[in-house]
Amino acid sequence: MNMSRIVRSTANILFPFILVFGFYIIVHGHLTPGGGFQGGAVAATGFVLLLVAFSPDIIRDKFSFNSMKYTEALGLLLFIITAFVAIALGTTFFFNWLANGGIIFGESVAFGANPGILNSAGTIPLMNVAVGIEVIGAMGLIIMYMLSGIEGGNKE
């Protein structure tokens, strides 16, 4: 069932901010505390908020099981492809092949305290993004499965 209008409006307003905050944590994972998993979890709480505020039917119209599954698979694929490219380049699995390369995320950083350069750290931010996508998908999937379980609706 729907919650009251106040709750629904607040959820509507807060939802984008929660998502943006989640993305912020994901892309700054290599500079500040946080990273893919934490950011993804924060973004997934946005979905929980919507779930609490609106009736499950509306949620199911907006986000399907399949889209969540694809999101999860996409994140995992991105992650493992990043790792695979490293062996294709003649180094080992998970080698940081982008770092200090000057292209994307390629700036070198001096050792010690620094103000935080977003465009650094090579594959680490890439993998953070991959994990973030994966976690959003997986958390969404878990939440939706549990929701359908509570309702006694379709089973896994």
Partner 1 sequence: MITGWIMENLPALLLAVPMLGAILTPLVGKVSEKGRNAWVLLVSLAALCVAALLTNEVLSSGTVIYTFGAGTPASAIPADSGGLPFRIIFTVDAMSVFMAISASIVGFAVTLFSIAGDSKMSGKDSFYALLLLMQVGILGMVCTGDMFNFFVFLEINSLAGAALVASRVDKGYAVEAGLKYAVLSTLGGLLVLFAVGLFYGQYDALNMAVIADSMQFGVLDKIALVLLLVALAMKSGAVPMHFWTPDAYSMAPSSVTAFLVVASQASLYGVFRVVFTLYNVTLDYATIGWIIIILGVLSMFIGVTMAIPQKDVKRLMAYHAVSQTGYMLLGVGVGLAVLGNAAMMDAFGMTAMEGGLFHIINHAMYKGLLFLTAGAIFYQAGTRNLNKLGGLGHEMKWTMVFFIIGALAIAGIPPFNGFASKLMIYESVFMFSPILSIIAMVVSILTLASFVKVFHSMFMGPKLPEYEGVREVPRYMLAGMGILALLVILFGVFPQQVVDFLITPAATALVDQGSYIAAVLGGGA
Partner 2 sequence: MIYNLPFIAAGLIIIIGIVMMVTKKNLIRIVMGLALVEAGVNLFLVATGYIENGIAPIFTNSPGGEMVFPTVQAMTLTNIVIGIATTALLLSFVMIIYKKYGTVDVDKTGRLKG
d(CA 81, CA 125): 14
Task: List the one residue from 18, 37, 59, 136 that touches partner 2 (CB under 8 A).
Answer: 37
> What is the torsional sign of CA 59, 61, 66, 70?
negative
Binding residues for partner 1, rule CB under 8 A, total: 18
**Amino acid, single-letter form, for residue 116:** G
Q: Which does 90 bind (CB under 5 to 8 A by kind): partner 1, partner 2, none?
A: partner 1
Q: Which does 83 bind (CB under 5 to 8 A by kind): partner 1, partner 2, none?
A: partner 1
Task: List the one residue from 31, 47, 128, 137 that touches partner 2 (CB under 8 A).
Answer: 31
Is 114 a binding residue for partner 2 by CB under 8 A? The answer is yes
Q: What is the separation of C-alpha 85 from the centre of its chain, rounded to a whole number of angstroms? A: 22
Task: List the one residue from 48, 83, 85, 109 that touches partner 1 (CB under 8 A).
Answer: 83
Toward partner 1, which CB reaches closer, 20 or 142? 142
Q: What is the DSSP letter of 120?
A: B
d(CA 125, CA 2): 39
Mutual angle of helices 123-151 and 65-88, in 10-degree steps: 150
Task: List the one residue from 3, 81, 104, 146 that touches partner 2 (CB under 8 A).
Answer: 146
**Which of these, 68, 85, 87, lies nearest to 139 by C-alpha position?**
68
Is 154 a binding residue for partner 2 by CB under 8 A? The answer is no
Restricted to residues 50-69, the positions that interact with partner 1 (CB under 8 A) are: 69
